[in-house]
Structure 1
Amino acid sequence: MMEMKDKHPINIKPVSELRNYTKLLAEVKPNEPVFLTKNGYGKYAVISIEEYERLKLGLEYMEIMRAAEETGYVENDEIMKKYGL
């Protein structure tokens, strides 16, 4: 495994290791995806559901901020409703 700048390991495996998917999935942790290669090139990232939800939420937040930059404001009610606050 290689190390990233923030000291989280980068877990890179060939896609053929999916044959033993139970072992591979046990290596997937929050903030520590498993990257799968095919023919020596990065092809897939396996992430936990929690990480997926966090990334999705981040993208939604970025979309709201982009809209705010275009219009100059964001409706507080819109954010409160969207995120259950």
Structure 2
Amino acid sequence: MPNIKPISDLRNYSEVLREVSAGSPVFLTKNGRGRYAILDISDYEKANAAAALMNELAKGRSSGEEKGWLSPEAVRARLLRAEDEI
């Protein structure tokens, strides 16, 4: 169950921060609506890594659509060629 608190609870921020842990963020509301999330640094880093990966995948898809796709055989040939060069 999500841990939701009003932003006014930040007056005692150390108590709110104690409730934050990996996989268990605290969501803060302002005027009854969700406004902020406080999360563990490892969750933040995972979210950033996932966003970066999605960005790279989108670039790859865009490149494939613009320049054409490689067949699985062409990929294998390129990888084998690159392996021989190492």
TM-score (normalizing by structure 2)? 0.72
- When you count strand as a share of all residues, which structure comes out higher? 1
User: Are positions 1:52 and 2:44 aligned together?
Assistant: yes
Q: Which residue of 2 aligns with 1:68?
A: 60
Q: Which runs of 4+ in 1 moved over 6 A?
A: none
**RMSD over aligned Cα, in angstroms?**
1.1
Q: What is the DSSP-based 3-state SS (H/G/I as helix, E as strand, rest coil) of the residue aligned with 1:30?
A: coil
Per-residue CA distance 1:45-79 (angstroms, 9 max, x = gap): 00111111110000000000000101127xxxxxx
- When you count helix as a share of all residues, which structure comes out higher? 2
1-structure distance, mates of 2:35, 2:43: 18
Q: What is the DSSP-based 3-state SS (H/G/I as helix, E as strand, rest coil) of the residue aligned with 1:59?
A: helix
Aligned length: 65
Larger Rg computed on CA atoms = 2
Query: Residues 16-27 of structure 1: matches in 2 within 5 Å?
Result: 16-27=8-19
Identity of aligned residues (%): 43
